[in-house]
Chains A and B, each alone.
Chain A
Amino acid sequence: MDGLFTQYIDPYYLRILMLIGINIIAALGLNLITGVTGQLSMGHAGFMSLGAYASAILSMQFQVPYPLALLAGGLVAAFFGLFIGIPTLRLQGDYLAMVTIGFAEIIRVFFLNFGPGGKAVGLAGIPQNTTFSTVWLLVLVVVLLNALLLNSRSGRALYAIRENEIAAEACGVNSTRYKVLSFVLGAFLGGLAGALFAHYNYYIDPNIGSFMKSIEILNMVVLGGMGSIPGTILGAVLLTILPEMLRQLPTTFPAFSLIC
């Protein structure tokens, strides 16, 4: 089935399409945390690298089947989402942002020193199981589930927390429970995206969890409009294509140096 899509597409464009799909999944995850629930998280790439490493190690060292490895990548990230979500619920706004940045940095430094993950060199030779149809089928499923969640009672509770947490609590919304829920689900999607990326890119290194990657995903959510699914998809598409279009630019600038 995959050949049907891929035989007519140039490999370069195919790669961009794959990355768009993976970024949509990651950005929808962050959209749940930051866009919908209003909890500013600036360490989403940390969840991605957790998912990427967990799934890559499982399928390389333990020969775990591909779908299970993907699921495990998401679950490991979700577990850490729970782990970071519960204590940070006491924190608000920018304090939470700082803790999530710190959390992602700790993960990056951990993988820089993590023997089974190849330390700074990274992991190469991950089986290339992610195909065009896997990515886009998963995008479809994730978008549908997201839409279902956001239109449900729980989804409205999440929006209510973003708008006014005190008012939401006064209306009987258990804000702690829903904030943890959004963290866990968002982290799961981040981990899933990371696992997809690891099994597509064949190679991962600790820098896939860098601060700049987190910012990139946050920009996708903000650009498209916080809390909107079509907006997040649009943001992910635009911000994946734009850097590719600007790739030619640096070569047109002459190299010069002010300080020798």
Chain B
Amino acid sequence: MLWQQLLNGLTLGSSYALIALGYTMVYGIIQLINFAHGEIYMFGAFAGLFLVTVLGANLFVAIVGAMLFCMVLGMLVERVAYRPLRGKSSRLSALISAIGVSIFLSTLMALLAQTNTRRYPEIISSQTYHLGAIEVSSLQVLILFLSAGLMVGLQLVVKKTRVGKAMRACSQDLDASCLMGINVNRIISLTFAAGSALAAAGGVMVGIYYNAVWPYMGTMAGLKAFCAAVLGGIGSIPGAMVGGLTLGVMEILGVAYLSSSYKDAIAFAVLILVLIIRPQGIMGQKIVKKV
């Protein structure tokens, strides 16, 4: 029973982790809570649904298509709503702008696709494997491996490539990176693209796993993923992964052993407790205040 719940928690947690990565990467570079990120995830789920139902694509085409679509959407959002504000106005203005984009995108989707909940058609044959007492569905295997693959891929890009090096430089000091000849705007744009693509993959997988896609699914998922990012220590990529998985496991264990009606409160209660004990998150670094 416990192992089964742990597995379910890891599946849920890996989707949180995929969304949290986008939050943490953007925050690491421009210190902005990108509230529109949850809506990008929702658009990813809908783009996948559109590809599957209207164009008859298979699962992998749907995931890749949704990722490409959301890359463009994420870069567009950054270009239209955040870049004009950067450097000129306070961080709170950018935050409000992000919330505005979030409301705009979710109502746009409500207008485009109506507000009812939609389902993915069965595009993956569901098999159940037995590992001792644990039941693993083929979908869970897919989600776990695909998100692990994406996270490893992201880690390789950030650690091994020139662009990744530029991203790390920007997150340490934006002005100094600019002086070193890094095209800061391009790097920020690419960061949004990478984060949005991961969120889109998460959106398609969650849409299939829970069999529900609706225009307002992004708000709560986005808040919880941000919780996961803060939990892990915001700005840290491994932190987002650890935070996402921890949150997913905690939530499933809470539902299983405490009460299912408090499902949405558990994530936030865990967050508050962790932050009170360790204000910089699990893997975050303490920033020394300078005068």
Contacts and interface: CB of A to CB of B under 8 A. Distances in A.
A211 B96 CA distance: 13
B53 A259 contact: yes
A87 B276 CA distance: 6
A103 B279 contact: no
A99 B227 CA distance: 9
Interface string A99-112: 10111011001101
A241 interface: no
Nearest to B35: A215
B96 A98 contact: no
Nearest to A105: B268
A222 B96 contact: yes
B33 A94 contact: yes
Interface stretch (B109-117, B131-139, B140-148): B109-117
B276 A106 contact: no
Interface stretch (B187-195, B201-209, B258-266): B258-266
A110 B265 contact: yes
Given A211-B223, A219-B96, A259 B234 contact: no
Given A97-B33, A105-B264, A258 B50 contact: yes
B113 A257 contact: yes
B93 interface: yes
Interface residues of A, number: 34
A90 B268 contact: no
A30 interface: no
A105 B46 contact: no
Contacts of B99: 215
Which size class do B's interface residues fall under? 35 or more
A166 interface: yes
A219 B226 CA distance: 21
A91 B275 contact: yes
A95 interface: yes
A103 B112 contact: no
A166 B291 contact: yes
A226 B90 CA distance: 11
Nearest to A257: B114
A102 B220 CA distance: 11
A99 B234 CA distance: 14
A207 to B, nearest CB: 13
Nearest to B112: A258
B230 A98 contact: yes
Nearest to B102: A215
A40 interface: yes
B54 A103 contact: no
A27 to B, nearest CB: 14
A253 interface: yes
11 contacts: A40-B92, A90-B279, A94-B31, A95-B279, A98-B271, A106-B268, A113-B261, A257-B114, A258-B50, A258-B113, A259-B46
Interface of A: 40, 87-88, 90-92, 94-95, 97-99, 101-103, 105-106, 109-110, 112-113, 166-167, 211-212, 215, 218-219, 222, 226, 253, 255, 257-259
6 nearest interchain CB pairs? A102-B268, A109-B265, A106-B265, A258-B112, A87-B276, A259-B113
